């Protein structure tokens, strides 16, 4: 593979303008097409085979307007100066309802002046609008149009706020300043790393082209597959990080070879043959980890996984084609526009090599010290609080947050997450007052935690009944999930009880994640270890790398628990506390983490952590194959990669931290988890723990049973210098590294 990549890099360097223009045109065309023809998005969070999905399917069967595809929209009314039933205010509300009835797709408008439609103090009311035949993918636009139709109420001095009935998966997350902040921070890190502006701009340019290409493909794919609204933000987050990092690794090696006097074209060829192979394998591990989300049994999560993988594929392709083309075009000008007082990469590896030698002299102490620190970082993860995030954690002052507060204040917190109970009956019944229906209503009312039960509604066939039950607790309260389970446990002869709605769906999502998480983790670890085995032909190294990545994940989840579950800084990352909170509560308050977030974080972090492992192991193996001294190889490998891995990690951390500024709890969670994991991985794990374990394992690092060595395909990733020289026209002798035989000998 290294020779094939070397030829590809050499060709791209010789035909730089062709490659550059092709990529720019492709990226512009793809991005332009996706912007000119924006595809619909569908953030359906349903999970096939779950009880909530069965309830949703039954709701479509003959329950009339508002229970099928159209759904309902609710408008909250608030009168700060007096009761809504005052004559002028009531007249304005009724005028608003008359206008709402004339809106397209509206089949029914329920007045707030009804039982259960107005609060006890008569100051908060609820207009329920039932829809049919509308486009359910444009519910946000429809809601805003309906809200505008209620302007007569606003002119009467009433506050009108549309209630938000969507799930976190329905939120449209728009890109904005965070990308710019991340790019600027990355540029500053690159300037300090290289010391020249031209070299610093190359990875940024390559990453922007790869992100634009990936987003263009994702946007166009939205016409043929259901595309979540988070797809763009996830692709941008990961695409920027890996795109800059992969280009950085290639550029660092190229500049090092130029400093040794290697001609530009030959330097590019060697760079792509060696570091390019590491890029391909590193990208492969990320894609494998993301693809494993297909096994989670959660379509939304699976789609987010392979969509994010598209951005990684784009980053790999631009790294092994566009970056060589740019390096070939720039030649020695890659070191132009040097920044005063900055040395650039220079001999920065000496300090890292010194650290490697220091670790090699005291591996046991370093191992135990690192393990203690990592254990302390991971310990809080045991208290990680999982659960749905309701709008009570939304941005203060936003419409969804305001609607949540009005609903909770006027009708109780459970009204923000009603349970839709749909029961299949053993036989057709004549009406909602049938004995079996009455028994079911009594059973639902008797469930602990149910505050209110609406009148039952039969479907057209008389074989199913729908009952809306309001829990006592907020949607994010873990007790609400237990209410869902208790309602489902109702046992009446011949009656199958199902519970749907937002809370029930998220409860099922959590249960499905708990069920499938061991499978996904096992597949990711196994396939990633297998890929490393193919790359390095070393079983011990492959297993150890997988274990190290799991360690960094523990630290990430520990940080998430501290920030969100314990609330030690949730306010500092921009989460808004509940109203009427004390000063301390505005800074420290607990926020649940969506049940599917840890699995998504695991897949992304495992892949990204493997990137640094591949680059470090590549350098260590190159040194080991040259002289056969394991401790020396560890020090040299750390010395040659420490600075560039640290720079890459700083860039990745800067990008992820920038996304914490987004006013969305899910994005904040990903930002904190990714940033902490990468920081820990590039410092404690790659700087101390990995070198210490490699020194202690000695020749076992590179041991491979003879039988296994014979059956493994030759997919070497390292592309060491001896092989590169042998591949040139001037030298045709086949080199034999001194450590080759001990590496594959049986023990």
Instruction: Write the CATH number for 220.
Output: 1.20.1640.10
Report residues of the chain scoring pLDDT below 50.
65, 69, 165-175, 346-347, 719-747
Mean pLDDT (the chain, rounded):
81
Helix axes 665-680, 630-658, angle to 10 degrees: 160
Note whether residue 399 is domain-resident.
no
Residues 565 and 714 in one domain: yes
Domain boundary among 470, 500, 530: 500
CATH number at residue 489: 3.30.70
Residues in the chain: 747
Residues 519 and 650 in one domain: yes
Closest to 452 (Cα-Cα) out of 424, 401, 418: 418
Burial profile 318-333: b = 16 or more Cβ within 10 angstroms, e = fewer: bbbbbbbbbbbbbbee
Q: Which residues contact 103 (CB under 8 A, 6 or more apart)?
A: 145, 146, 149
DSSP state of 593: B
Residues 347 and 451 in one domain: no
SS3 460: coil
Closest to 672 (Cα-Cα) out of 587, 555, 576: 555
Torsional sign, CA 674, 676, 679, 681: negative
Closest to 663 (Cα-Cα) out of 397, 481, 268, 294: 397
Residues 636 and 588 in one domain: yes
pLDDT at 341: 65
Closest to 639 (Cα-Cα) out of 199, 250, 256: 256
Residues 86 and 221 in one domain: no
Range of the domain at 115: 51-166
- Burial of residue 743 (number of CB atoms within 10 Å: 0-12, 13-18, 19+): buried
Q: Which two tokens stand for residue 353?
A: 């090599």
CATH number at residue 57: 3.30.70.600
Question: Residues 602, 553: contact at Cβ < 8 Å?
Answer: yes
Note whether residue 393 is domain-resident.
no
Torsion, CA 594, CA 596, CA 602, CA 604, rounded to 10: -100
Question: Residues 90, 84: contact at Cβ < 8 Å?
Answer: yes
Note whether residue 747 is domain-resident.
no
Distance CA 574, CA 521 (A): 31
Residues 627 and 556 in one domain: yes
Please state the pTM of the whole predicted model.
0.78
Distance CA 654, CA 164 (A): 33
- Burial of residue 2 (number of CB atoms within 10 Å: 0-12, 13-18, 19+): buried
Residues 479 and 573 in one domain: no
Question: How far separated are the first and last CA of the chain, in Å rounded?
Answer: 29
Note whether residue 392 is domain-resident.
no
Q: Based on the structure, what is the number of domains in the chain? A: 3
Residues 564 and 620 in one domain: yes
For residue 83, is it left (φ>0), alpha (ψ between -120 and 50) or beta? beta
Note whether residue 650 is domain-resident.
yes
Distance CA 92, CA 122 (A): 15
Give me the residues paired with residue 593 across strands.
386
Q: Which residues contact 726 (CB under 8 A, 6 or more apart)?
A: 732, 733, 734, 735
- Give the CA angle between residues 391, 397, 399 to the nearest 5°: 60
DSSP state of 686: I
Closest to 630 (Cα-Cα) out of 256, 359, 274, 270: 359
- Give the CA angle between residues 568, 571, 573 to the nearest 5°: 95
Closest to 739 (Cα-Cα) out of 724, 725, 720: 720
Residues 263 and 320 in one domain: yes
SS3 121: coil
Q: Which residues contact 263 (CB under 8 A, 6 or more apart)?
A: none
Extract the runs of DSSP E, i.e. beta strands, from 361-483.
419-424, 450-453, 457-458, 464-471
Note whether residue 412 is domain-resident.
no
Distance CA 640, CA 677 (A): 22
Note whether residue 342 is domain-resident.
yes
Closest to 183 (Cα-Cα) out of 654, 735, 725, 673: 654
Q: Quick count: other Cβ atoms within 10 Å of Cβ 202?
A: 24
Q: What is the DSSP string of 77-117?
A: EE-SSS-TTSHHHHHHHHHHHHHHHTSTTEEEEE-SSSTTT
Domain boundary among 456, 472, 500: 500
pLDDT at 141: 78
Distance CA 549, CA 559 (A): 16
Residues 338 and 292 in one domain: yes
Residues 548 and 468 in one domain: no
Distance CA 227, CA 156 (A): 41
Distance CA 396, CA 636 (A): 52
- Residue given tokens 């069967």 in the structure block: 61
Q: Could you report the per-residue pLDDT of 233-280, keeping only the tens digit for each?
A: 878 888 888 888 889 889 988 888 888 888 988 999 988 887 888 788
Note whether residue 354 is domain-resident.
yes
Distance CA 609, CA 552 (A): 8
Report the run of H or E that residue 128 belongs to, with start and end: strand 124-131
Distance CA 204, CA 669 (A): 25
Residues 70 and 13 in one domain: no
Domain boundary among 482, 500, 518: 500
């Amino acid at each position: 593979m290294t020779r094939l990549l070397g030829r590809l890099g050499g060709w791209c360097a010789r035909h730089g303008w062709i490659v550059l223009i092709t990529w720019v045109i492709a990226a512009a065309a793809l991005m332009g097409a996706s912007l000119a023809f924006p595809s619909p998005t569908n953030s359906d969070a349903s999970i096939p085979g779950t009880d909530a999905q069965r309830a949703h399917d039954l709701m479509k069967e003959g329950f009339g307007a508002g229970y099928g595809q159209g759904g309902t929209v609710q408008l909250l009314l608030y009168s700060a100066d007096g009761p809504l039933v005052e004559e002028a205010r009531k007249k304005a509300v009724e005028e608003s309802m008359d206008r709402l009835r004339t809106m397209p797709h509206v089949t029914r408008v329920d007045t707030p002046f009804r039982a259960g439609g107005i609060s006890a103090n008569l100051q908060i009311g609820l207009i329920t609008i039932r829809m049919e035949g509308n486009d359910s993918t444009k519910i946000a636009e429809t809601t805003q149009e309906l809200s505008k139709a209620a302007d007569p109420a606003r002119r009467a001095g009433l506050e009108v706020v549309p209630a938000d009935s969507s799930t976190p998966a329905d939120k449209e997350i728009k890109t904005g300043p965070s990308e710019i902040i991340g790019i600027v921070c990355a540029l500053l890190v690159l300037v300090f790393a290289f010391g020249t502006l031209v070299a610093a701009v190359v990875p940024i340019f390559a990453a922007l082209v790869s992100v634009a290409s990936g987003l263009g493909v994702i946007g166009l794919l939205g016409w043929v597959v259901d595309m979540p609204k988070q797809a763009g933000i996830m692709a941008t987050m990961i695409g920027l990080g890996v795109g800059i990092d992969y280009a950085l690794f290639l550029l660092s090696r190229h500049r090092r070879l130029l400093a040794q006097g290697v001609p530009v074209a030959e330097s590019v060829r060697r760079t792509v043959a060696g570091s390019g192979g590491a890029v391909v394998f590193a990208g492969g591990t990320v894609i494998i980890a993301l693809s494993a989300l297909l096994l989670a049994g959660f379509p939304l999560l699976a789609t987010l996984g392979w969509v994010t993988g598209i951005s990684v594929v784009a980053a790999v392709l631009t790294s092994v084609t566009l970056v060589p083309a740019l390096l070939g075009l720039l030649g020695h000008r890659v070191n132009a526009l040097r920044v005063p007082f900055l040395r650039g990469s220079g001999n920065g590896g000496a300090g890292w090599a010194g650290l490697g030698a220091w670790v090699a002299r005291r591996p046991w102490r370093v191992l135990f010290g690192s393990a203690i620190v990592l254990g302390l970082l991971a310990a809080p993860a045991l208290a990680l609080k999982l659960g749905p995030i309701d709008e009570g954690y939304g941005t203060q002052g936003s419409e969804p947050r305001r609607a949540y507060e009005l609903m909770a204040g006027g009708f109780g917190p459970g009204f923000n997450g009603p349970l839709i109970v749909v029961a299949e009956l053993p036989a057709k019944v004549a009406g909602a007052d049938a004995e079996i229906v009455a028994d079911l209503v009594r059973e639902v009312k008797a469930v602990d935690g149910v505050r209110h039960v609406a009148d039952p509604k039969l479907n057209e066939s008389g074989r199913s009944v729908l009952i809306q039950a309001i829990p006592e607790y907020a949607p994010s309260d873990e007790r609400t999930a237990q209410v869902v389970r208790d309602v489902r446990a109702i046992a009446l002869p011949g009656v199958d009880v199902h519970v749907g709605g937002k809370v029930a769906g998220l409860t099922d999502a959590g249960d499905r994640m708990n069920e499938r998480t061991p499978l996904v983790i096992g597949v990711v670890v196994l396939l990633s270890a297998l890929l490393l085995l193919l790359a390095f032909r070393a079983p011990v190294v492959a297993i150890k790398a997988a274990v190290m990545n799991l360690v960094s994940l523990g630290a990430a989840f520990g940080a998430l628990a501290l920030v969100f579950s314990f609330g030690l800084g949730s306010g500092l990352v921009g989460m808004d506390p509940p109203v009427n909170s004390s000063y301390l509560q505005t800074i420290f308050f607990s926020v649940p983490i969506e049940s599917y977030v840890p699995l998504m974080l695991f897949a992304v972090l495992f892949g990204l952590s493997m990137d640094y492992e591949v680059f470090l192991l590549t350098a260590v193996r190159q040194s080991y194959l040259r002289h056969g001294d394991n401790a020396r190889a560890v020090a040299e490998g750390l010395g040659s990669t420490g600075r560039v891995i640290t720079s890459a990690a700083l860039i990745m951390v800067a990008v992820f931290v920038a996304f914490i500024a987004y006013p969305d709890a899910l994005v904040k969670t990903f930002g904190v988890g990714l940033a902490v994991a990468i920081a820990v991985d590039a410092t404690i794990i790659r700087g101390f723990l990995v070198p210490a374990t490699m020194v202690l394992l000695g020749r076992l690092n590179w041991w491979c049973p003879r039988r296994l060595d014979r059956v493994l395909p030759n997919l070497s990733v390292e592309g060491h210098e001896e092989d590169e020289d042998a591949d040139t026209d001037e030298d045709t002798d086949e080199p034999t590294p001194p450590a080759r035989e001990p590496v594959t000998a049986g023990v």
